[in-house]
Amino acid sequence: MKKKIIYTDEPMEGVVVEDFLPPPEKLILKEEKVKVTISLSKHSVEFFKKRSKKLNTHYQKMIRRVLDIYVSRYQ
């Protein structure tokens, strides 16, 4: 037996978070690199591989750029 959900008209509270990450097309730059080993979710890697193939670039460059942008935002 399922419980019936009762909805109310109470106000919802939330915080708008500014979107600070660029689109995948702008994640391609040249910089000094350091090799690391990291485990990422399959879902994330598949996303970057598909996008990088469309943009004719390397998915690792795109992932690296996302991390660089995150660091510069919170430095």
| Nearest C-alpha neighbor of 64 from the set 28, 39, 19 | 28
> Is pLDDT of 31 > 80?
no
Question: 1 falls in which pLDDT band (50, 70, 90)?
Answer: low
Measured from the Cβ of residue 66, the count of other Cβ atoms closer than 10 Å reads 15
- Containing structural domain, residue 48: 43-75
pLDDT at 40: 95
- What whole-number distance in Å separates Cα of residue 8 and Cα of residue 22? 37
Q: Is residue 60 part of a domain?
A: yes
Count other Cβ atoms within 10 Å, centred on residue 60.
13
Within a domain: 24? no
Residue 38 resides in a domain? no
Number of folded domains that form the chain? 1
Residue 37: band (very low, low, confident or very high) from pLDDT cuts 50, 70, 90:
very high
Cα–Cα distance list, 57 to 8, 9, 16, 29, 42 (Å): 49, 49, 32, 11, 19
Range 31-47 average pLDDT: 92
Report the pLDDT value the prediction gives residue 21, as an integer from 0 to 100: 82
